[in-house]
């Protein structure tokens, strides 16, 4: 009975243990003083995917990792770095998956071509189906 209660208590505490005890990064939730720099940083953050949430940009995510990435982007923009260079560094570090606009290269070309091929196959199947119905 004690073992079952201990297991139940641990299972109930698991979500709490998943939260970080560390404070958020300095610029994770605070905007830059310069509105132009903040606009550049915000535009870049909206095009970068949260590595934890997977469906949200780092601008929208509440994950600790996304906060760290927001702080990094803001620090680099404040230092005068070009957003394109920041994106290139993040892609080099985390892979093309971090961006919502993956490049077309030898690895990603099937992702760009496959939807077109599926549409073509669907059109051919539909055409054949309509021709058979018209002959009846």
DSSP alpha helix (H) spans, 79-136: 83-94, 109-135
The DSSP bridge partners found for residue 49 are 57
CA distances from 13 to 7, 8, 18, 64 (A): 10, 9, 9, 19
3-state class (DSSP) for residue 49: strand
Q: At what angle do helices 64-78 and 83-94 cross, to 10 degrees?
A: 140
d(CA 91, CA 37): 21
Architecture in CATH of 25-103: Orthogonal Bundle (1.10)
- What is the structure's pLDDT at 55? 84
Q: How many helices (H) and strands (E) does the chain have?
A: 5, 0
List per-residue pLDDT tens for the chain, 136 residues long.
888 877 777 666 655 555 555 566 677 778 888 999 999 999 999 999 998 887 899 998 888 888 999 999 999 999 999 999 999 999 999 888 888 877 777 877 887 888 999 999 999 999 888 877 777 6
Nearest to 67 by CA among 52, 79, 47: 52
Please report, for the chain, the start and end positions of each structural domain, with discontinuous segments joined by +: 25-103, 104-136
Nearest to 118 by CA among 107, 110, 108: 110
């Amino acid at each position: 009975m004690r073992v079952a209660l201990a297991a139940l208590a641990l299972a109930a505490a698991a979500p709490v243990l998943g939260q970080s005890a560390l404070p958020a990064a300095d610029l994770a939730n605070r905007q830059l003083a310069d509105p132009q720099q903040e606009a550049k940083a915000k535009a870049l953050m909206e095009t970068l995917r949260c590595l934890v949430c997977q469906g949200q940009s780092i601008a929208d995510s509440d994950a600790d990792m996304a906060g760290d990435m927001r702080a990094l982007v803001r620090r680099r923009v404040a230092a005068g770095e070009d957003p394109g260079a920041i994106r290139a560094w993040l892609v080099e570090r985390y892979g093309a998956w971090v961006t919502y606009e993956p490049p077309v290269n030898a690895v990603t070309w099937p992702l760009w071509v496959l939807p077109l091929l599926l549409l073509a196959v669907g059109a051919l199947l539909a055409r054949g189906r309509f021709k058979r119905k018209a002959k009846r």
